[in-house]
Structure 1
Amino acid sequence: MSPLDFLADLLNPQLAFLPKALIVAVVSALVCGVVGTFVVLRGMAFIGDAVAHAVFPGLAIAFVVSGDLVLGGTIAGVVTAVLVAVFSQNRRVKEDSVIGIFFVGAFALGIVVISQAPGYAGSLQQFLFGSITGIRDEDLWVVSITALIVLVAMFALHKEFVATSLDRESARALGVAVFWVDLALYVLVTLAVVISVQTIGNVLVLALLIAPAATARMLTDRLAAMMALGPVIGGLAAVVGLYVSWSWDLPVGGTIVLVLLAFFLAAVFLGPRQGVWAWVGRRRVRAA
């Protein structure tokens, strides 16, 4: 399928779900690109994966009772994040152990809840791997408003996030409420994950959160440039991934992730300063 054919399908009224999927995928990628910057800087990839598991019971309960998926996932993610933050204060058990216990337990609860819903197998597949056909008009508004809230919060707390990401102890000495900043970041990660689940799925959403920021990290050393590049890379991957999946009849979530992987590998090898090609070039210059 040529890009012009894809554009024609986007404008086809009989395929109204396709532009909705594109909008949700791009908006999700943009938000994840911004939030993911601090997830990568702080080495919080495990947190991102854990949050993706934590929102699942909320999504499952909302689905069973025909409620709002974003609201259900947000409540579940926030409650679990608060529990982790509280129980992590007990230094006898390390934070990663507490995270593993609570978030995996939340995911297991989601599996049990959704197993009670009619059409269990199809519903589970949609939650885990995403779907481009089940996006409603109201989902566009919910995703857009949630994305705006996340971006405004990221802007408002930018200095605090930077301070705690670079040096937590110095930030605490300067009077930054590190506990509440961490909790705010967990909540924003939760919101970014929830709005991304519908197109990319619960299993693969971590890639949308990590890969754009990690790719940008290979291209620049400046935080501002990284925060600008991450959303662009994620948005481009969403467009290309949806185009390829629609053209070849492939799962949209998996295709977007593979595009993100291709972008990351390209940055690893071709990055102007940190890439393998640049490193080889510097070695040659030194040898000469």
Structure 2
Amino acid sequence: MRLRRAPGVSAFTWRALVELILVGAVCGVLGVHIVLRRLAYTADMLSHVMLPGAVVATLAGADLRLGAAAAVAAAGGATVRRATHGKTSQATITGVIVSGSLAVGAVLASASDGFRVDLAAALVGSPLTVTASDITVFAAIGLVVLVTLAVLAKELTFAAFDPVGLRALGCPARWLDALVLILLGAVVVAAVPAVGSMLPLALLAGPAGAALLWARRLVPAMVLAALLGAAAGAGGLALSLTYRLATGATVALVCGLIFLVACGFAAARRAG
């Protein structure tokens, strides 16, 4: 069923609204698992590591997401392997990958004939230029992510709160960790046209963190995080159009504001 835009709303604004609502909702749900498993820093790493891949893809005339996906796959695989088999700590590996990725991306961009608009979009996104195919790609990936989280909800929850107990029961906890990273990588890559490589963490952590402060159980927290993420996407777009601000950055700021408000209410509730 095709979505019909409201009268007076331009096509590019309508596409941006649909894309940001989808991105916000899916990132909100997945973000609950990311926050519970303390993977926010890893999510930040995967977001930043997309930059050199996106730069290479742009300079080669290919889709940004192809280069971003290759970079995320390489970094995610290296992180998991070194963290499970090496002596170097996870934080050290992640820090080196983040700084190295930004450096490589900056060097490649400076070596090109000029810093193209596509490369700027790879940094902070360009929701107002998303296409119908961008929406379709993210909707398909988002559906796969949501179905996977629903099917494995019990195992993922158990792994988040008691990974030792899960391993004692013979469940493949390491495979669940890898699966969460795969879902995370797929979402941040698919979200590049809307929020670029620098801002996915805001949509993953802000609404989810706020929802976990307000909701006591996992399922209500996921539903609330989806609603807050979608609201952040729609609200950020409205503010950016009204005051002529960068859309992706405004959405990220709204996510941060939502989390700060949730922290304030949580503190007031504890004080009362």
Same fold per TM (> 0.5)?
A: yes
Q: How far apart, CA to CA, are the structure 2 residues paired with 1:246 and 1:204?
A: 18
Distance 1:118 1:148 in 2: 39
- Return the alpha-carbon distance in structure 1 between the equivalents of residues 268 and 60 of structure 2: 54
How far did residue 119 of structure 1 move? 4.1
Identity fraction in percent: 30
* TM-score, normalised with respect to structure 1: 0.85
Measured in 2, the distance between the counterparts of 1:151 and 1:55 equals: 23
Q: Per-residue displacement from partner, 1:29-88 (whole Å, max 9, x unpaired)?
A: 111111100111122211111110122233223322333333432232122111111112
Determine which structure has more spread, i.e. the larger CA radius of gyration. 1
| 2:28–2:203 contact (8 Å) kept in structure 1 | yes
Helix, strand or coil at the partner of 2:191: helix
Quick check: 1:268 aligned with 2:259? no
What is the aligned residue count?
268
Q: Which amino acid aligns with 1:248?
A: Y
Give the residue type in structure 2 aligned to 1:164.
A
1:284 matched to which residue of 2?
Answer: none
Matches within 5 A, 1:60-79: 60-79=55-74
Q: Give 1:246's match in structure 2, choosing from 228, 241, 260.
A: 241
Which of these residues, 168, 171, 177, is aligned with residue 176 of structure 1?
171
Deviations 1:183-231 (A, max 9, x none): 1111111122122232223222211110010010111111111111111
Superposed displacement of residue 129, structure 1: 1.7
Moved more, 91-100 or 104-113: 104-113
Partner of 2:252: 257
Q: Does 1:277 align with 2:268?
A: yes
Q: Give the partner amino acid of 2:268.
A: W
The answer to whether residue 45 in structure 2 is matched with residue 50 in structure 1 is: yes
Separation in 2, partners of 1:9, 1:119: 37
**TM-score (norm. length: structure 2):** 0.90
Q: What letter is aligned with 2:158?
A: A
Q: Which runs of 5+ in 2 are unaligned?
A: none
Judging changes above 3 Å, is the alpha-carbon distance between structure 1 residues 198 and 93 closer, same or farther for their aligned structure 2 residues?
A: same
Matches within 5 A, 1:135-174: 135-174=130-169
Q: Structure 1 pair 164/81, CA: closer, same or farther in 2 (3 Å)? A: same
Maintained 8 Å contact 2:75/2:97: yes
The CA distance in 2 between the partners of 1:155 and 1:117, in whole Å, is 44
8 Å CA contact retained: 1:55, 1:190: no
Q: Letter of the 1:157 partner, please give it.
A: L
Question: CA 1:101 to 1:9, structure 2 compared with 1: closer, same or farther past 3 Å?
Answer: farther
Q: Note the 1:205-216 alignment, pairs <5 A.
A: 205-216=200-211
Q: Does residue 197 of structure 1 match 2:197?
A: no
RMSD: 2.1
